[in-house]
Chains A and B, each alone.
Chain A
């Protein structure tokens, strides 16, 4: 009988034993030179015009070089392009630098860009970055409003090849900041090898498993899903600045906290652009000067839906804003990983001014209470204030803290209104369901004021879910877009921002700070405007 029990044990053991047999050790191999590992999450896609989230763009940033970079004042300067010029801001001439090649040896030409942009703009491809091409002439014909209809054109009429290295981009409307846009991931070129059919804008689905770019690093093998993406320095890289490390390995993590543990244990070199909040309390102790911070483009705001009568009075909105102690919440809840925001845009763009919101964003509980009572008080907001938020984003602590402040300072009942997903808040906003104020975040696509003002506050803005509409604001925005130079445009944009301070359709709360950290192996770690690690500056640490 004991025999049978033993046999049973062996049967259950057998698979494990056989697995022990085949689990061979692989050589970690330091022989290939100094490789830096960077922690990311699993990217959604790696085809440039589909990449609008940070994990994918971190990887593409190694494999590709963008047309423009940005200077210390966040103004665009040519990088892969030799010159980007326009006389009327409508027709732009892009001249590429000579001698650039893709990792497979193919030369980079005007066609590499034209083909890639056409594929990105082609509606049926349904690429995430499709909307970036909307400013180029011919976009509408490729993206009919009734999406069930077949598009009437396969190519953007606004893209014309002039010679091997020059092409002309015609926009449907003049746009002064077009050059700033070109630094974004979706504008990378593609080699012919990426296409199944250039004619039909068809990209090979296998391309993103090992993307071929023209950047400083090239793929080493394939994208190992949920594990890592390895790259090595591209020896024929044509950029002026060459990589100083032998390769970059992007290690893919499910949770940020595991990245932190790996960094402490010396198994990971760089975490960027955000450290786990739960480690912020001990990070200075753990890492000392290897922990760094820089301003980020993400802003957090509270929006007042225009369909909700309770918030119709500007006075009520001002009172609520003045009753919120931003600094206190940031200190206690976010442990100073964020900064109070008192303007409607983040300080990472030319034209940013501090405190455009004025008195309305200064914490003043006494005045807030007076104003609140004068505007009708508790009765005016229907007995209580609600703040809707999505529970999957870790927003509960600060929403509760905000509510506590409103309760204390305005003497009104305030509750958080948890929603399972951000998308469900949007659905409610569209149906005009009452849910109270709601939270929103915004990251710019490229560093201009318009990248905040347009989508968030203009009447037809793509993310204006609260329905703010001011014809004067819209007019100033168009005036800015059509201005002769970026400097002139800023004047119009700033006037538009001043209107927001008057109308207060949203309350600015705070902007994020990138918080990044690195191991003792690597030095010169810094991040750029888009919160990417500056890969070309990385060097081994000198002992």
Chain B
């Protein structure tokens, strides 16, 4: 078990360094002239140029810039975005909103997706199974911004059940509609996955054996089938945490939630290298950590892995 853990941890660190380096290189090779991009269609005066160049170490070699950046990242000094705001402030404001949104979406995925999937799997071929198959297929095939805009027009503007945009005075309620939209895709995938998994396990040999031993149906499903069916679902949910955080970019845009996705979008638009790289690095970190946790959970759920 400890060997397994150590190996995974080492992998995580290596992936992190490699991924941030690639992101950093990409961001700064794309921006040929980030200063001019910032100024838009108006020209920059030479003194503005010198000032800004020195501020962002743009005159130093690429590796030195990366060095400065990693040093800042490790020591928690993120520096300033090109707009002049400390990146730490931007992050401190944005993260909680994205996390609230992401967790609420995850909650919806777990409650609706997993429960629905189990139900569909148990009643395979039934009315619920058939309808949910059709609905989830449509959802999986629809881009998230279409779902988002349609839901916004329908539930917020036409019916007035929700606000069309972020309203902090409503507390958590303001995240409900965006979370449904954000969780929609994972929900559909999660539901299909759970359904297949449950349906497959129901036909497994050990279920027949258990039934032959005289166990009640309830115990077979509740303990044996569910536990074994959950293994792929937990992996899926784990990776979805990272996916939800980055998927928030579109949803946050539609519903005007000032979270991390919105900042990332803005940063890319302004070619704000420092901001983009910091956010993406943190997203990578979250993704890696959740994956690590999932693998550990996996080991808990599946003895073959921890003993293997």
Chain A 1-55 interface residues, beta-carbon cutoff 8 Å to B: 1-2, 4-5, 8-9, 12-13, 15-16, 19-20, 23-28, 42, 44-45, 52-53
Bound complex: CA A87 to CA B170 (Å): 60
Judging by beta carbons under 8 Å apart, are B223 and A2 in contact?
A: yes
Judging by beta carbons under 8 Å apart, are A147 and B46 in contact?
A: yes
Segment of B12-20, B182-190, B262-270 in the binding face? B262-270
B300 contacts across to A, CB distance below 8 A: 4
CB distance from B104 to the nearest CB of A (A): 6
Q: Which residue of the partner chain, among A15, A20, A52, A265, contacts B164 with CB atoms under 8 Å?
A: A265
Question: Is B9 interfacial (CB 8 A cutoff)?
Answer: no
Choose among A20, A124, A147 the residue with the greatest number of B CB atoms under 10 Å from its CB. Answer: A147
Question: Is A93 interfacial (CB 8 A cutoff)?
Answer: no
B252 contacts across to A, CB distance below 8 A: 254
B166 contacts across to A, CB distance below 8 A: 227
Judging by beta carbons under 8 Å apart, are B153 and A261 in contact?
A: yes
With A8-B297, A13-B107, A226-B262 as known contacts, state yes or no: A255 contacts B40, CB within 8 Å.
Answer: no
CB nearest to A148 among chain B residues: B50
Q: Which residue of the partner chain, among A12, A26, A143, A427, contacts B32 with CB atoms under 8 Å?
A: A427
Bound complex: CA A258 to CA B107 (Å): 26
17 contacts between A and B (CB under 8 A): A16-B106, A19-B172, A25-B171, A26-B171, A45-B84, A52-B42, A126-B48, A128-B39, A130-B47, A131-B45, A147-B45, A225-B93, A254-B253, A254-B258, A254-B266, A258-B164, A265-B157
A265 contacts across to B, CB distance below 8 A: 156-157, 160, 163-164
A-B contact count (CB 8 A): 158
B32 contacts across to A, CB distance below 8 A: 423-424, 427
CB distance from A141 to the nearest CB of B (A): 12
CB distance from A342 to the nearest CB of B (A): 23
Question: Is B287 interfacial (CB 8 A cutoff)?
Answer: no
Judging by beta carbons under 8 Å apart, are B93 and A144 in contact?
A: no
Judging by beta carbons under 8 Å apart, are B226 and A5 in contact?
A: yes
Judging by beta carbons under 8 Å apart, are A227 and B258 in contact?
A: yes
CB distance from A416 to the nearest CB of B (A): 19
Question: Is B24 interfacial (CB 8 A cutoff)?
Answer: no
Chain B 98-133 per-residue mask, 1 if CB under 8 angstroms from chain A, else 0? 011001101100100000000000000000000000
Judging by beta carbons under 8 Å apart, are A262 and B165 in contact?
A: yes
CB nearest to B82 among chain A residues: A44
CB nearest to B156 among chain A residues: A265
B173 contacts across to A, CB distance below 8 A: 23
Bound complex: CA A16 to CA B111 (Å): 13
Judging by beta carbons under 8 Å apart, are A144 and B47 in contact?
A: yes
Judging by beta carbons under 8 Å apart, are A12 and B43 in contact?
A: no
CB distance from B298 to the nearest CB of A (A): 12
B43 contacts across to A, CB distance below 8 A: 462-463
With A143-B45, A422-B40 as known contacts, state yes or no: A28 contacts B169, CB within 8 Å.
Answer: yes
Judging by beta carbons under 8 Å apart, are B256 and A253 in contact?
A: yes
Bound complex: CA A147 to CA B149 (Å): 48
Bound complex: CA A42 to CA B100 (Å): 22
Question: Is B57 interfacial (CB 8 A cutoff)?
Answer: no
Judging by beta carbons under 8 Å apart, are A147 and B90 in contact?
A: no
Q: Which residue of the partner chain, among A144, A147, A255, contacts B254 with CB atoms under 8 Å?
A: A255
Judging by beta carbons under 8 Å apart, are A19 and B100 in contact?
A: yes
CB distance from A245 to the nearest CB of B (A): 20
Q: Which residue of the partner chain, among A2, A421, A463, contacts B42 with CB atoms under 8 Å?
A: A463
Judging by beta carbons under 8 Å apart, are A421 and B48 in contact?
A: no
CB nearest to A268 among chain B residues: B165
CB nearest to B256 among chain A residues: A258
Chain B 44-85 interface residues, beta-carbon cutoff 8 Å to A: 45-52, 83-85
Judging by beta carbons under 8 Å apart, are B271 and A421 in contact?
A: yes
CB distance from B79 to the nearest CB of A (A): 14
Judging by beta carbons under 8 Å apart, are A226 and B93 in contact?
A: yes
Bound complex: CA A16 to CA B104 (Å): 7
Bound complex: CA A387 to CA B85 (Å): 37
Bound complex: CA A16 to CA B108 (Å): 11
With A226-B93, A258-B165 as known contacts, state yes or no: A143 contacts B170, CB within 8 Å.
Answer: no
Question: Is B284 interfacial (CB 8 A cutoff)?
Answer: no
A-B contacts besides A130-B45, A261-B157, 5 pairs, CB < 8 Å: A45-B84, A126-B47, A130-B47, A226-B258, A255-B254
Question: Is A314 interfacial (CB 8 A cutoff)?
Answer: no
With A126-B47, A463-B43 as known contacts, state yes or no: A225 contacts B164, CB within 8 Å.
Answer: no
Q: Which residue of the partner chain, among A146, A257, A423, contacts B33 with CB atoms under 8 Å?
A: A423
B297 contacts across to A, CB distance below 8 A: 8
With A5-B230, A23-B171, A130-B48 as known contacts, state yes or no: A427 contacts B33, CB within 8 Å.
Answer: yes
Judging by beta carbons under 8 Å apart, are B103 and A19 in contact?
A: yes
Judging by beta carbons under 8 Å apart, are B167 and A267 in contact?
A: yes
Judging by beta carbons under 8 Å apart, are A123 and B230 in contact?
A: no
With an 8 Å Cβ cutoff, the count of chain B residues facing the other chain is 69
Judging by beta carbons under 8 Å apart, are B85 and A225 in contact?
A: yes
Question: Is A426 interfacial (CB 8 A cutoff)?
Answer: yes
Chain A 406-433 per-residue mask, 1 if CB under 8 angstroms from chain B, else 0? 0000000000000011111011000000
CB distance from B107 to the nearest CB of A (A): 5
Question: Is A264 interfacial (CB 8 A cutoff)?
Answer: yes
Bound complex: CA A205 to CA B80 (Å): 13
Bound complex: CA A416 to CA B179 (Å): 39
Question: Is A164 interfacial (CB 8 A cutoff)?
Answer: no
CB distance from B265 to the nearest CB of A (A): 7
B107 contacts across to A, CB distance below 8 A: 12-13, 16
Bound complex: CA A420 to CA B33 (Å): 12
A262 contacts across to B, CB distance below 8 A: 163-165
Question: Is B152 interfacial (CB 8 A cutoff)?
Answer: yes
B152 contacts across to A, CB distance below 8 A: 258, 261
Question: Is A91 interfacial (CB 8 A cutoff)?
Answer: no
With A2-B222, A423-B33, A427-B32 as known contacts, state yes or no: A147 contacts B169, CB within 8 Å.
Answer: no
Bound complex: CA A179 to CA B188 (Å): 63
CB distance from A454 to the nearest CB of B (A): 13
Question: Is A441 interfacial (CB 8 A cutoff)?
Answer: yes
CB distance from B171 to the nearest CB of A (A): 3
Question: Is B208 interfacial (CB 8 A cutoff)?
Answer: no
Judging by beta carbons under 8 Å apart, are B40 and A24 in contact?
A: no
Question: Closest 3 interchain pairs by CB?
Answer: A226-B258, A23-B171, A123-B47
Judging by beta carbons under 8 Å apart, are B52 and A126 in contact?
A: yes
A53 contacts across to B, CB distance below 8 A: 40
B40 contacts across to A, CB distance below 8 A: 53, 422
CB nearest to A29 among chain B residues: B169
Question: Is B205 interfacial (CB 8 A cutoff)?
Answer: no
Question: Is B255 interfacial (CB 8 A cutoff)?
Answer: yes
B168 contacts across to A, CB distance below 8 A: 26, 227
With A12-B110, A19-B172 as known contacts, state yes or no: A145 contacts B153, CB within 8 Å.
Answer: no
Bound complex: CA A71 to CA B220 (Å): 84
B262 contacts across to A, CB distance below 8 A: 226, 254
B46 contacts across to A, CB distance below 8 A: 143, 145-147
Bound complex: CA A42 to CA B93 (Å): 15
Q: Which residue of the partner chain, among A16, A20, A123, contacts B45 with CB atoms under 8 Å?
A: A123
Question: Is B196 interfacial (CB 8 A cutoff)?
Answer: no
Question: Is A68 interfacial (CB 8 A cutoff)?
Answer: no
CB distance from B56 to the nearest CB of A (A): 12
Judging by beta carbons under 8 Å apart, are A42 and B266 in contact?
A: yes
Chain B 238-267 per-residue mask, 1 if CB under 8 angstroms from chain A, else 0? 000000000000001111101000110110
